[in-house]
Structure formats: structure tokens, C-alpha cells
Structure 1
Amino acid sequence: MAKTVIVYFSGYGHTKRVAEVAAQSANAELIEIDADGNVPESAWATLDGAHAILFGAPTYMGSVPWQFKKFADATSKKWFTREWQDKVFGGFTNSASLNGDKQVSLIFLQTLASQHGGLWVSLGLAPANTKAATRGDVNNLGGSVGALVQAPSDAGADEISTGDLETVKLYAARVAGIANRLHD
């Protein structure tokens, strides 16, 4: 079975909740980027040993926060040695707004994976885009590059919509499943 790792930054707990839901679905190990933009030294070996890596970050001011960018910059040592070449990658982001420029964050994550020579996995879910659709529906935000999550700025992490959480579950399982097929 392929090993899946989720590396994420969470400023207010929402991304942490999403990462935990994704980890459950993909049987993945979690690595949290701390408030200073660092991961434990042991995390690098864990990431090196992974077959699939999911990136998770909130969207702040139209992109990922500086803590995630610091982590991304630190991966340049892995880039230089092509350590993560041909790993399977995916990503998710959340913001307080329905749009909030989340697509920009996903493109940042996808570009980071591509720079490492990785294989990016699309969401693979049709959008819930009918008049009858609700926030409880899977892929209600209409993502395709990765998983999109929205929680109002005055909502706690426990108030993320069930549709967004189910979208993340299905996506994390898809990423892990593709890694399993490629690993076997």
C-alpha cells in the first residue's frame, strides 16, 4: 500500500480540520507547518518516503500564507536532488469567502508539485451546479484542480459544510488510490 502524507498550515483551525478529515479518508500521516513556517526535522524523511503528498493551506489575500510559502521554499533542497520526482500530489484550500481567489492557491500548490516533477491529481468530481444544489452537496464550490472549502470568518472549524468535507474525503481517497495503483 502506498504511503500518503498531508502537509498543511492552519491559521485558525479550519485547515487543520480539513487535513484531519482528508487523513482519515486516505489513511494518511499528518505533518503540520507551525506558526513560524517550519516542520519538524523528522518530517522531511516522512515526506521523502511518501508515495503521495497532499498540500493543504488556507487562502489569505489571494494566495497561500507566508508560512506555507516558507515551507515551499525549504523544499528547494528536495527539488535540487529530484527527491520527490514522480510522487503523486494533490491539494486543498479554504477561505472565508465562497470564491476568495482559492483557485490561485491551488495553482500555487499545483505549480510547486510540478516543479518537483510530481504527478498532480485533479479533483475528478462533477460540480453541484443546479438550482437545487446546496452547500451540503459534494463539490458545491465547483472545483476541478483540487478540493475547495469555505467557512465563514465567524464560523468555527466544526461548522465547515458537510458537502465540503465530503468533497475533501473523496478527493483524498482519490489521490491515495491513484498512488496505490502506481505503486503496485
Structure 2
Amino acid sequence: MRPQGSTLTVAVLFHSGYGHTKVVAESLFAGVSSVAGITAHLISVDELPAPGADRSLGGKWQLLQAADCIVFGTPTYMGGVSAKFKEFADRSSSIWFKQGWKDKLAAGFSNSGNLSGDRLSSLQYLSLFASQHGMVWINLGMLPGNPHDANTPNRVGSSLGLMTQSDQASPEVTPGKGDREAARLFGVRIAQTTLRWTK
């Protein structure tokens, strides 16, 4: 049983090729961090060391192991998750073998350069990956926004997880205001759900 008064932890794990998915991860992280009783960690897959010779996982893998909820984020490249994210997923097989993440909460997000961008394929992969680990998936829980207004949260009308879109510009300006706000709101939802789930 968790000690009374201890905080719960949410890990936001992501890969970002050009900085746009990182912007989404940071906005989501801000939403998670704004909820009292939650400690949040923002982790890039690039910070996770390769497995040892005995397949042991050290470094920031231990933050994932200790988390009550893990949020997975990836850009959508060529209709699926990035190669770097897939490498992380494959390296987690030693955890899967022991069902080390069973009954943790999970959620996911993906960014692409086009309005469709086939992000649903990436979110479906993330939810299946979480299910293989025996995790419990948190959906977006947000009504569709106005698809013609870039300042509207969830303007693409996603349900399974968060979808965001970035133009061919620097991550300082894109994804836009609506997508960043959707990420923040999703982070709040994830944190609040984690508090309810682990009572």
C-alpha cells in the first residue's frame, strides 16, 4: 500500500525528431504538473540507456518503472511511430516478460506535419503496445473542436489519444495555440485520472 501523503508519479516519455513533438510533450507535462498530488517526469527516449548484457534496464528506465502512469509520445513518420520510439518499445520486452507495467495507467499522443498525417495508426500502435504490457489506457476525453480554427483544442476531433499537427516551420511557432492547449488539458485529465485510479 502506498504511504499516506505520498505523491503519485506520471512519466511523459517521448521521441521528437525536429522539436515539434517535444513542444507537445512539454505542454502536456505542464498540465500534469499543475495538478496537486502529482510528481511529473519529462523523459526523451534518447535519455534511456540500452539494455545491459543481462537485458537489465538502468538509468531513467527506473523512473518509468516507478511511475503510476506513463504517457507515450511520438511523431508519425511514414504512417507509424518513429524508429527511435519503436526501438524503445522493443527494448521494453524484458519488462513485458515479467509484466512489470501491468495495471499502470497509460496514454498517448502523436504529432504529424499534415492535418491527417495517419496519426491514428500511431495512436493505435501506442494503445496496443500499452495493452501488451497490461496497462490501462486513458483516452482523450475531449469533444471535437472547430477544424477550421487552429486555436481550438482537438480541432482534428481525435478520441483515442491526442493528435497535433505542425506546419513546416520551427517548433517555436508550431504546433499552434489550440494544439498546445489540448496537450495541457490532456495532461490535466491524465493527472486527475491517475489520482482517482490509485486511491
One-letter amino acid of the structure 1 residue matched with residue 171 of structure 2: A
* TM superposition shift of 1:81: 0.7
Contact 2:146 2:152 in 1 (8 A): no
Q: What does the per-residue CA deviation read over 1:31-80, in whole Å, with 9 as the maximum and x for residues that have no partner?
A: 1112xxx6143111100100010001000000011110000001111111
CA distance in 1, matches of 2:195, 2:98: 24
Q: What does the per-residue CA deviation read over 1:90-140, in whole Å, with 9 as the maximum and x for residues that have no partner?
A: 01100000000000000011111000101101100010147xx51111110
One-letter amino acid of the structure 1 residue matched with residue 44 of structure 2: E
Mark the runs of 5 or more structure 2 residues left unpaired by the alignment. Answer: 1-6, 34-39, 50-57
Question: Aligned pair 1:33/2:48, yes or no?
Answer: no
Task: Work out the percentage of aligned pairs sharing the same amino acid.
Answer: 40
Alignment of 1:34-183 (within 5 A): 34=46, 39-40=48-49, 41-129=58-146, 133-152=148-167, 154-159=168-173, 160-183=175-198
CA distance in 1, matches of 2:102, 2:69: 11
Secondary structure at the counterpart of residue 22 of structure 1 = helix
* TM superposition shift of 1:20: 1.1
CA distance in 2, matches of 1:108, 1:43: 23
Q: Report the number of matched residues.
A: 178
Secondary structure at the counterpart of residue 59 of structure 1 = strand
Which residue does the alignment assign to 2:36? Answer: none
Mark the runs of 5 or more structure 1 residues left unpaired by the alignment. Answer: none
CA distance in 2, matches of 1:143, 1:155: 23
Higher helix share: 1
CA distance in 2, matches of 1:43, 1:50: 11
Q: Which moved more, 1:117-126 or 1:22-31?
A: 22-31
Bigger Rg, which one:
2
Which residue of 16, 24, 28 maps to 2:22?
16
